[in-house]
Amino acid sequence: MQLSGFPFATTDWSAIERTEHKGETGTAAWRTRQFGSVRVRMVEYSPGYLADHWCEKGHVLLCLAGELTTELKDGRTFVLRPGMSYQASDGQEPHRSSTRAGATLFIVD
State how far the Cα of 105 lies from the Cα of 68, in Å rounded to an integer.
Answer: 9
What was the pLDDT predicted at 84?
98
The total number of structural domains that make up the chain: 1
State how far the Cα of 73 lies from the Cα of 64, in Å rounded to an integer.
Answer: 24
What was the pLDDT predicted at 3?
81
* pLDDT at residue 82 is higher than 90: yes
State how far the Cα of 71 lies from the Cα of 79, in Å rounded to an integer.
Answer: 9
* pLDDT at residue 2 is higher than 90: no
CATH of the domain at 38: 2.60.120.10
* Within a domain: 91: yes
Over range 50-59, report the average pLDDT: 95
Chain centre to alpha carbon of residue 16: 16
* Within a domain: 93: yes
Helices (H) and strands (E) in the chain, counts: 0, 10
* Within a domain: 66: yes
Domain extent, residue 35, equals 20-108
* Within a domain: 14: no
Reported pTM: 0.92
